């Protein structure tokens, strides 16, 4: 066998190995994306029309969301939104269309507060699918009904509220341990009753006041009788 033939065989073998490796990596990526996105993987595949574009879309979502500063609600924010949600559900009996519209706006506000961008619905839903895949489909289903609320039946509007409530519960079930918006109080910090640095300053201030009190002239306890004072002779 000539050197040229050996070279050709080696090149073919290397190409075959590289192709197998590429195929293996593609399969592995596909499985990881399917496991991560669940039903959203199939929905995106159907929308995009081919696997390559669909997976590129999903990977782009993951990359975009990884750069967002998404955080849990504070306790005060959660309490405020819980009250608004309760009020929203209360108006459903008399005005189901308004209740659904209000629920949609409230969820948008909650997502924005947590750090999701204020973009159109498609982008908000896409961002939500990255870490909240199961509830993202409820957001989609509820929004589809909200878009045609004027033509929807009362039962459909009720389903929209139920879909939105699933997302609301997911968006508000976690809160930060410390309310970051609360102003620190004097006893929050060092255990000495003062905010950082205040203890030393207050101690110094008190010391200066004590010294000033000691050296300040005292008022006489009784008036001085000028007649008792004699002027020494020179």
Q: Are 99 and 145 in contact (CB under 8 A)?
A: no
What does the alpha-carbon distance between residue 55 and residue 105 come to, in Å, rounded to a whole number? 30
Residues 19 and 54 in one domain: yes
CATH code of residue 104: 1.20.120
Is the pLDDT score of 217 beyond 50? no
38-60 pLDDT per residue, tens: 899 999 999 999 999 999 999 99
User: In percent, how much of the chain has pLDDT > 70?
Assistant: 75
Q: How does DSSP classify residue 192? A: S
Residues 131 and 61 in one domain: no
**Three-state secondary-structure class, residue 169:** helix
Q: In this structure, is residue 81 part of a structural domain?
A: yes
Residues 37 and 114 in one domain: no
The answer to whether the predicted template modeling score (pTM) of the entire model surpasses 0.75 is no
Q: In this structure, is residue 160 part of a structural domain?
A: yes
CB atoms within 10 A of CB 31: 10
Position 156 confidence tier, pLDDT thresholds 50, 70, 90: very high
Residues 81 and 57 in one domain: no
What does the alpha-carbon distance between residue 196 and residue 187 come to, in Å, rounded to a whole number? 10
Residues 107 and 27 in one domain: no
Going by C-beta distance under 8 Å and a sequence separation of 6 or more, which residues neighbour residue 71? 114, 115, 176
18-36 pLDDT per residue, tens: 888 887 787 787 888 898 8
Residue 158, domain extent = 75-172
What does the alpha-carbon distance between residue 170 and residue 9 come to, in Å, rounded to a whole number? 58
């Amino acid at each position: 066998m000539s050197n040229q033939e050996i070279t050709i065989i080696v090149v073919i073998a290397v190409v075959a190995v590289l192709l197998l490796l590429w195929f293996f990596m593609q399969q592995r990526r596909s499985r990881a994306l399917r496991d991560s996105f669940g039903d959203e993987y199939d929905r995106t595949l159907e929308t995009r029309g081919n696997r390559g574009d669909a997976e590129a879309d999903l990977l782009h979502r993951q990359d975009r969301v990884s750069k967002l500063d998404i955080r849990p609600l504070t306790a005060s924010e959660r309490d405020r939104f819980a009250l608004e949600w309760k009020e929203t559900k209360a108006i459903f009996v008399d005005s189901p269309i308004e209740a659904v519209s209000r629920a949609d706006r409230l969820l948008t506000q909650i997502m924005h507060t947590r750090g999701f961008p204020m973009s159109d619905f498609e982008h908000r839903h896409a961002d939500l699918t990255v870490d909240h895949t199961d509830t993202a489909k409820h957001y989609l289903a509820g929004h589809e009904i909200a878009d045609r609320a004027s033509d929807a039946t009362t039962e459909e509007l009720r389903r929209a509220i139920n879909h939105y409530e699933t997302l609301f519960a997911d968006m508000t079930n976690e809160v930060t341990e410390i309310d970051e918006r609360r102003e620190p109080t004097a006893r929050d910090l060092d255990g000495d009753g003062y905010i950082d640095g205040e203890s030393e300053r207050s101690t110094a201030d008190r010391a200066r006041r004590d010294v000033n009190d000691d050296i300040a002239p005292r008022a006489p306890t009784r008036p001085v009788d000028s007649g008792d004072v004699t002027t020494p002779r020179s």
